[in-house]
Amino acid sequence: MNLRTALAASLIAATTLPLAGMAEAAPLGRAEVTKLFPGQFEAQVKGYRVNFTGSRGGSITGVAYGQQDTGRWFMKGSALCVSFDKWTKGEAKCGRISQQGGWYVAKGNDGDVLKFRRTDLAQN
């Protein structure tokens, strides 16, 4: 599996994010999630490091191992939805986010975990 395929699969799997079974922390509410943006973040997905920037207006840009993609983020109820032009082929992936030890964490039904944390100073 090449990097692009692995990264796309990881982002797709990790962004289908119901948090059933994660008793450590309650999912964040809509207002808490939207306060994360604008911001710059580091994510860990299946051993890959992805850096991404999200604007307050809903655009998102990701960079991983020299590959870049753009897309958008939006809220659907209390779930954060993300779609990337190439990595998710424009398909929105949504899920609930919890906070654990300085990381924002989401766990997919298949057990894959997406972790991300802010890499810039909060500008809220």
pLDDT tens-digit readout, 45-85? 778 899 999 999 999 999 999 999 999 999 988 888 888 99
User: Does residue 28 surpass a pLDDT of 70?
Assistant: yes
Half-sphere exposure of 109 (CA within 13 A, CB side): 5
Burial of 88 (0-12, 13-18, 19+ CB in 10 A): middle
CATH of the domain at 16: 2.40.128.640
Domain that holds residue 32: 3-118
pLDDT at residue 95, rounded to an integer: 79
In a domain, 42, yes or no: yes
In a domain, 33, yes or no: yes
In a domain, 50, yes or no: yes
Structural domains in the chain (count) = 1
In a domain, 27, yes or no: yes
In a domain, 124, yes or no: no
User: Does residue 27 surpass a pLDDT of 50?
Assistant: yes
In a domain, 24, yes or no: yes
pTM for the whole thing?
0.73
Residue 107 binned pLDDT confidence (cut-offs 50, 70, 90): low
